[in-house]
């Protein structure tokens, strides 16, 4: 099956969305009981954490943790937004930098100015989008980013998106209530699919879509650690309490170039393997043996693969033992175990 297909369905009773590219699972979003990223709270400052420059906050969904708390005192009310999923047993990660994001527009209350995605290079289109932005944001002192998905979009749809996000931001920022409260719920998988998967695609909304389009089989495969890299090479992606371990193997290829070939294939496959498993945090890659002179080639391939990823991932560098370390945002709920 060629091309992109977006399937909106449910998995074990939870809302879920899958993106299949040429018949292979490319991305997966599953709802969970945890607070959704993007949720905005009116939170109450609770306990500062000495030495870490952070503070625990009280929210309706439990304890949250905020870094960089200059000027924040216990008992003070503050607006924060869930920035990702919490590690098991830890507080909800939140940020003071609120973003109101939709398919075409991102409202940035703390960063004034009208901006167009750098990936839009057509100057006439950029001028047209700036006109739309100026008209829609007239009189508002908040910032706006128009996303790359504006290419080919209807001007009225872009305007409607800007206005909806601006009005939501104004409602949240104008809050005058008291106590810990949810002010805006983060988007669920079906809305996120519409918001973030903007390439042309067939959309399936029929019940049972996951089974009909082999998504369930792909999810079952992703519950295992093994990832086929082709040519006999493979990698294992396994989550531990402390980190995600990635082990790359050459298989039967004993040639001098076998290690580099396997590692380059692992670099290309890693973002998808992490996305569909909902894995983030610290990632350590135990690569197949290759000469040190090939490290730069591998780094270039890994950076290129991560540039095409939708989830923020930092390439940290090499350890003394020759492992590659990365730090990845926990933007997905972990893939749940198979229901018994």
What Å distances lie between residue 227 and 80, 223, 232, 247, 331, CA to CA?
38, 11, 11, 10, 21
Contact yes or no for 29/189 (Cβ under 8 A): yes
Contact yes or no for 239/279 (Cβ under 8 A): yes
Q: What is the dihedral of CA 170, 175, 176, 179, to 10 degrees?
A: -170
Distance, in Å, from the CA atom of 196 to the CA atom of 19, rounded to the nearest integer, reads 11
Q: Dihedral of CA 163/164/169/174: which sign?
A: positive
Element (H, E) at 267: helix 258-277
For residue 313, the cross-strand partners are: 328
Specify the pLDDT at position 340: 45
Please name which of 234, 190, 246 lies closest in space to residue 28, comparing C-alpha atoms.
190
pLDDT in 10s for each residue of the chain, 340 residues: 689 999 999 999 999 999 999 999 999 999 999 999 999 999 999 999 877 779 999 999 999 999 977 888 899 999 999 999 998 889 999 999 999 999 999 999 999 999 999 999 999 999 999 999 999 999 899 999 999 999 999 999 999 999 999 999 999 999 999 999 999 999 999 999 999 999 999 999 999 999 999 999 999 999 999 999 999 999 999 999 999 999 999 988 878 789 999 999 999 999 999 999 999 999 999 999 999 999 999 999 999 999 999 899 999 999 999 999 999 999 999 998 875 4
Specify the pLDDT at position 1: 65
Q: What is the dihedral of CA 289, 293, 299, 300, to 10 degrees?
A: -130
Specify the pLDDT at position 18: 98
* Helices 155-173 + 123-136 axis angle, to 10: 40
148 Rama class: left (phi>0) / alpha (psi -120 to 50) / beta = alpha
Contact yes or no for 9/16 (Cβ under 8 A): yes
Specify the pLDDT at position 88: 84
Which contacts qualify for 158-161: CB closer than 8 Å, 24 or more apart?
Answer: 158/104, 158/105, 158/129, 158/132, 159/132, 159/135, 161/102, 161/103, 161/104, 161/105
Distance, in Å, from the CA atom of 337 to the CA atom of 340, rounded to the nearest integer, reads 9
Distance, in Å, from the CA atom of 332 to the CA atom of 19, rounded to the nearest integer, reads 14
Specify the pLDDT at position 55: 94
Please name which of 76, 42, 74, 88 lies closest in space to residue 61, comparing C-alpha atoms.
42
Quote the tokens at residue 242.
Answer: 């402390």
Quote the tokens at residue 59.
Answer: 């929210």
Specify the pLDDT at position 339: 57
């Amino acid at each position: 099956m060629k091309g992109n297909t977006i399937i909106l369905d449910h998995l074990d009773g939870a809302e879920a969305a899958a993106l299949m590219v040429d018949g292979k699972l490319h991305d997966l979003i599953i709802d969970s009981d945890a607070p959704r990223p993007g949720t905005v709270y009116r939170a109450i400052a609770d306990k500062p954490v000495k030495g870490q420059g952070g503070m625990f906050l009280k929210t309706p969904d439990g304890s949250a943790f905020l870094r960089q708390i200059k000027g924040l005192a216990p008992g003070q009310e503050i607006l924060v937004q869930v920035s990702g999923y919490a590690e098991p047993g830890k507080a909800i990660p939140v940020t003071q930098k609120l973003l109101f994001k939709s398919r075409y527009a991102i409202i940035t209350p703390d960063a004034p100015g009208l901006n167009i995605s750098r990936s839009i290079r057509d100057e006439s289109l950029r001028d047209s989008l700036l006109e739309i932005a100026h008209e829609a944001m007239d009189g508002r002192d908040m910032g706006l980013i128009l996303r790359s998905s504006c290419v080919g979009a209807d001007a009225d749809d872009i305007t409607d998106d800007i206005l909806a996000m601006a009005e939501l931001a104004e409602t949240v920022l104008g809050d005058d209530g008291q106590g810990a409260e949810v002010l805006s719920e983060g988007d669920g998988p079906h809305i996120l699919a519409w918001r973030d998967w903007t390439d042309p695609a067939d959309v399936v909304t029929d019940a049972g879509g996951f089974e009909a389009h082999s998504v369930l089989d792909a999810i079952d495969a992703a519950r295992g650690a093994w990832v086929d890299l082709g040519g006999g090479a493979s990698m294992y992606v396994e989550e531990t309490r402390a980190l995600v371990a990635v082990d790359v193997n050459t298989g039967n290829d004993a040639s001098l170039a076998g290690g580099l070939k396997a590692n380059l294939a692992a670099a290309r496959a890693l973002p998808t393997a992490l996305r569909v498993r909902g894995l983030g945090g610290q990632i350590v890659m135990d690569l197949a043996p290759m000469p040190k002179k090939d490290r730069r080639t591998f780094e270039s391939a890994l950076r290129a693969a991560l540039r095409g990823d939708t989830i923020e991932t930092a390439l940290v560098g090499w350890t003394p033992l020759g492992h590659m370390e990365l730090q990845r945002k926990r933007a997905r709920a972990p893939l749940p175990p198979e229901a018994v």
